[in-house]
Chains A and B, each alone.
Chain A
Amino acid sequence: MSAAKKRKFRLNYEQRNAMRGYAFILPWLIGFLVFYAGCLFQLVRFSVMDIKIDATTGTRLDTFVGFDNFITAFTAHASFKQVLTSSLIDMVIDLPLIIFFSLFVALLLNRKFRGRALVRAIFFLPIILSADAVGSAITRATELMNNGVSAQAAEMAGGGAVSVSYYISLFGDLAIPPTILEYLVGAVNRIASIIKGSGVQIILFIAALQSIPGSLYEVAKIEGATGYETLWKVTVPMVMPHIITNTIYTLVDRFTTSEVMRLANETYQKYNYGLSSVFSLVATTATILILGVIVYLLNKRAFYYN
């Protein structure tokens, strides 16, 4: 090959940079395309098909039915619409709670105090405990406790529990608006799931807090800012991009464990493949829309250092 021809293929700096970037991504991309992209395509295909497995021969029979599955999901299915809306609302309610809780915990864990390693380990536990294996092990353990004699005894004993609704109505008498009250009651009911769902977010926030240059805090101090002011004028703006990151992560995480996905999985296990694909598609699209709106709103307020 002549020198002139060689030059033709020479890339400029930016192109070379891009090629290197692609080279690094390539292994993941191949894996993604091979194992997952096809599945996503199939999911869309399944949603417009009526899929039956022939019981005797075991072959799959696909018939194109157009939007029938969608129509069934929205008009004929007993619970899809309710489950969809309730799990979307749940996601939106949980989101600020998880973000605030994890930011709060991260702020505390980022400080120096005795026994910090232990406390951090404890707050890291949710990640371990939310893993499939451990989660199912815990469920099994509780089932063991519930299934046996104790469950029957508990039923017989019942009635001695504290009446939550009484306290709720008590607060209602204090003229707190019912919507706020409902949100608070809901939030209290969610405490366990919120704590469980904020492990990764705490880690991301800790990393974010540690990347804030100390000089900013020094300046704030010299200028005489109080801790409260420093929090809102330095810390929060600096972690804003990470709040967006965590928002995405939280929504995705909540979504994959939401009721509507459980419904889709259940439908799938009843061999109703077309319908479950529709559930999955509709729910995903709705979540992406919510995600888009929230990220857009946050992005307008975000401020990027560097």
Chain B
Amino acid sequence: MSTASQHKPVDTRPEKIIKLEKKMRRKEGGKKLNRSMAGNTLLFIIMGISGLFMVLPLVMIVNNALKPLDEIYQFPPRIFVRNPTLTNFSDLFVLMNESWVPFSRYIFNTIIISLGGMLGHVIVASMAAYPLAKHKFPGKALLFSMVVLSMMFSWTVTQIPQYLIISWLGINNTYAALVLPAWAFGMGLYLMKQFMEQLPDSLMESARLQGANEWQIFWQIVMPNVRPAWLTLAIFQFQQMWGNTGGMFLRNEELKPLQYALQQITSGGVSRAGAGAAVTFIIAAIPIIFFLICQSSILETMTTSGMKD
């Protein structure tokens, strides 16, 4: 890791500078610069509270899934479970076995749709983001404003034209009806462009001087260096696709995704509340597990090592 990533670089500086700094510290009464106990405590409290806000729904989901039915409807409602059981999950499995289409089929559909939409979107969006971030060509500003604009429209409002287009393409009632439109979302392109802009130009220049063509630069220089970005995007997109119920495009029961089946279960009302809580847990758990797998690479330093500032 280069020193560029830290505010407090490792002391590899000349002796003279270190001495100077020590002298300055003495002037401040030997204290660490600008850091007080009270300030730290305040920060800790603020961060703690906002962190709590973020974790709370998750805690609630987990606990709800473990509650027996009478505790789910208990008043006043409790966050933490008292007598944890797994009945909700066993109920859910009983329900699953009763379904007309084998449950594994729903899972298979969801995996195809989620992974297909995710991989395609990450690749297509990254490819489009690379020239927008690092090349100069006419029409660039126009293209980019198109991207921003496309992010702003509510797709509920354009359902009819979208349906017409999908049937015109003849991909109605296939996986492609969900997967292909996902490839052309604007959001991923926008995020990837912002990350790619931070790559130093000299990185690409040196590759170019070594005789790499643009395709090689993209796959071997740009993409490995913005790995945190496209992993973030992958998670983001996976979630979007994971939540897809197939809507109006998938009519065959054998093509419907898991979300749809789970929704059917939760709409069963009070008697299914337990199974519903288990469903909620499953819906939330998969993206979080996916996140935890990628987590170590996300939010880590964007590689600028190998560069001499």
Contact = CB atoms under 8 A, between A and B. Distances in A.
B128 A195 contact: no
Given A124-B299, A153-B75, A207 B195 contact: yes
Contact of A24 (B130, B169, B190): B130
Contacts of A218: 9, 13
Interface in B265-309: 266, 270, 273, 276-277, 279-280, 283-284, 287-288, 291-292, 295-296, 298-299, 301-302, 304, 309
B172 to A, nearest CB: 13
Given A17-B135, A22-B137, A29-B128, A39 B165 contact: yes
**Max count, chain B CB within 10 A of own CB: residue among A42, A121, A214:** A214
A288 B75 CA distance: 47
B193 to A, nearest CB: 9
A258 B285 CA distance: 27
Contacts of B61: 137-138, 141
B143 interface: yes
Main secondary structure of the interface of A (DSSP, over half): helix
Contact of B153 (A31, A40, A110, A210): A40
Interface in B133-164: 135-138, 140, 143, 146, 148-162
A42 to B, nearest CB: 4
A43 B58 contact: no
A211 to B, nearest CB: 4
Contacts of B229: 207
Interface in A117-147: 117, 119-129, 131-134, 136-138, 140-141, 144-145, 147
Given A252-B151, A268-B156, A133 B161 contact: no
Given A32-B184, A200-B191, A226-B33, A215 B309 contact: yes
A127 B236 contact: yes
A24 B279 contact: no
Contacts of A221: 21
Contact of A32 (B140, B146, B280): B146
B43 interface: yes
B101 interface: no
Nearest to A141: B280
B53 A31 contact: no
B125 interface: yes
B180 interface: yes
B192 to A, nearest CB: 10
A21 B137 contact: yes
A211 B302 contact: yes
Nearest to B279: A137
Nearest to B214: A20
Contacts of A195: 50, 53-54
Given A36-B150, A191-B53, A24 B218 contact: yes
Contact of A137 (B51, B55, B201, B280): B280
A284 to B, nearest CB: 5
B128 A252 contact: no
B152 A252 contact: yes
Contact of A192 (B53, B158, B232, B242): B53
B34 A131 contact: no
Given A122-B55, A191-B53, A28 B184 contact: yes
Contacts of A111: 7
Given A22-B137, A24-B127, A204-B194, A35 B9 contact: no
Interface string A264-306: 1100110001001100100010011000000000000000001
A228 B283 contact: no
A150 interface: yes
Contact of B148 (A25, A110, A191, A248): A248
B191 A31 contact: no
B112 interface: no
B74 interface: yes
30 contacts: A27-B128, A43-B157, A43-B158, A117-B296, A124-B299, A127-B235, A127-B239, A129-B57, A131-B239, A132-B239, A134-B283, A144-B72, A145-B73, A148-B73, A149-B73, A153-B75, A203-B298, A204-B194, A206-B299, A211-B198, A214-B9, A214-B309, A215-B4, A218-B9, A226-B34, A256-B151, A265-B154, A265-B156, A284-B152, A288-B152
Q: Which 7 pairs from chain A and chain B are nearest by CB?
A: A31-B184, A133-B243, A21-B131, A131-B239, A18-B137, A42-B161, A28-B128
Given A25-B127, A144-B277, A210-B5, 13 more contacts: A14-B136, A35-B180, A36-B150, A36-B184, A39-B165, A40-B150, A60-B160, A105-B50, A108-B47, A111-B7, A137-B283, A227-B33, A268-B156
Interface of A: 14, 17-18, 20-22, 24-25, 27-32, 34-36, 38-40, 42-43, 46, 60, 101, 105, 108-112, 117, 119-129, 131-134, 136-138, 140-141, 144-145, 147-150, 153-154, 157, 191-192, 195-196, 200, 203-204, 206-208, 210-215, 217-218, 221-222, 224, 226-228, 242, 245, 248-249, 252, 255-256, 261, 264-265, 268-269, 273, 276-277, 280, 284, 287-288, 306
